Structure 1
Amino acid sequence: MLKFYYNPLSPNARRVWITLLEKEIPFEAILLNLDGDQLQPDFLTVNPFHHIPVVVDDGFQIVESLAIMDYLESKYPTPAMLPTEPQALATVRMVQMVTANELFPQVISLIYENEDSPQFAQAKQNIDKVLQFFTQVLGDRSFFGSQQLTLADIVAGIAIHSLPPLGFHLSNYSKLNQWSERLMQRPVWQKTKLSAEDFEAFKRRVRILVKLRRREMNKGNQAK
């Protein structure tokens, strides 16, 4: 049976978790507590970069959430979550990459930066730009690139659903708000939604990781 290494606090892991559940793929869930499990020798043989998610399917190891999602779509094509029409497929890929490269880093800033800082204000402006763009891309479809759920909806949905708990509400983006509510009506999304307590734990973890990363960058700059 396919093995899925994850922790629900990880947005990248939840991408894969939702994909597995929406496709009704049988799997063995292996929960890592992220307080050291990911550094244990047994896990490092699965992923030497000590990150989650990881999927191991009949001995084939896959890291990186987007690659895992593509693998699952190719091996388990029903229900289809990638359109075949060129423009629709490009839309799905574009939304995935804009979420990863443009939106999610701003979510991190909302969590880490002080609310009265220029960085926080800039993050809100950048998020508005992404949401305006997504509104245009969504158009009159029910989902990104399709009338059925796609991999883009999973990637974007996880990031966008984190905005209201951070004080950035979707009331000014009516189409996206309706799309977000449409996702949350699905049983899988209700099952995988973080509780308020878990979301606070996610925020604490983000602050720790950003602080450690900045400390490492400062050390590297000083060593030059």
Structure 2
Amino acid sequence: MLEKEISFEPVLLSLNGDQLQSEFLAINPFHHVPAIVDQGFRVIESLAILDYLETKYPAPALLPTEAEALAVVRMVQMTVTNELFPKAISLMFETEDSPKLLQAKEHINQVLVFLTECLGNSPYFASKQLTLADIVAGTDMSLLSKLGFSFNNYPKLKDWFERLMQREVWQRTELSQEDFEKFKRVLRMLHRRKLNQENKVNNHE
């Protein structure tokens, strides 16, 4: 919304419980963020929100129209969402000697190699201008960076990420390390809560 200069009123939620309140559940019964409400119309799920905003507010355009370029944008969005993000999150929960940690890092490497191929020699994914692929990938690459993951073995992605982080909007919205540590604590708490619930169910069975 900032890149498109769409006016909006942000509503901040504490994931310690705000997402479970009836007011928010009326917007998203699955208690996930983000969600938007635009003149009474609610949209949940990040990719759906991006598509909605791109269609309703088409300028500046953040999607290419050429078939191959559009396919690259969609591939990057889906690969980051389905393959990169879950493994990045798992880095927060696994111990250094965990086999799952090694598997996660190997999978992340595979994703980053694929993203490097998708980027090619373009300054942004499939375009000389920012696209929705950059927004989705940049968010999760920022997560990896804060977790201490180095991009030195992926020089094109490293240059792209540094270029993205130099944009004014990204500098305005990037989490501080302090806020990121709070984010990690909340995720770990939610993860423990989920494990406890699963254990209770297993014990009951």
Q: Classify the TM-score, shorter chain.
A: over 0.9
Q: Answer 1 or 2: higher relative contact order, Cα 8 Å, separation at least 6.
A: 1
Structure with higher strand content: 1
Task: Confirm whether residue 91 of structure 1 aligns to residue 72 of structure 2.
Answer: yes
Equivalence map 1:41-60=2 (5 Å): 41-60=22-41
What is the CA-CA distance between 1:83 and the residue it aligns to? 0.8
Shift of 1:165: 2.4
CA contact (8 A) 1:112 1:206 kept: no
Question: Which stretch shifts more, 27-36 or 78-87?
Answer: 27-36
Matched, 1:77 2:58: yes
2:77–2:136: 8 Å Cα contact kept in structure 1?
yes
Partner residue in 1 for 2:145: 164
Match of 2:171 in 1: 190
1:222, CA displacement in angstroms? 4.3
Q: May I ask how many residue pairs the two structures share in their alignment?
A: 205
What TM-score do you get using the length of structure 2 for normalisation?
Answer: 0.94
Aligned counterparts of 2:80 and 2:165: Cα–Cα separation in 1: 18
Cα pair 1:73 1:81 within 8 Å, conserved: yes
Taking the aligned partners of 2:95 and 2:84, their CA distance within structure 1 comes to: 18
- CA distance in 2 between counterparts of 1:93 and 1:118 reads 31
Q: TM-score, structure 1 length as denominator?
A: 0.87
The one of 60, 74, 89 aligned to 1:108: 89
Root mean square deviation, CA, Å: 1.4
Letter of the structure 2 residue corresponding to residue 61 of structure 1: R
In terms of mean alpha carbon deviation, does 212-221 or 25-34 score higher? Answer: 212-221
Aligned 8 A contact 2:73 2:132 in 1: yes
Please report how far the alpha carbon of residue 194 of structure 1 lies from its aligned counterpart in structure 2 after TM superposition: 0.7
Q: Is the 8 A contact 1:171 1:177 kept in 2?
A: yes
Aligned partner letter, 1:29: P
Q: CA separation in 2, counterparts of 1:148 and 1:217?
A: 45
Deviation at 1:44, TM superposition (A): 2.2
Summarize the alignment of residues 1-224 of structure 1 with structure 2, pairs less than 5 Å apart: 20-224=1-205
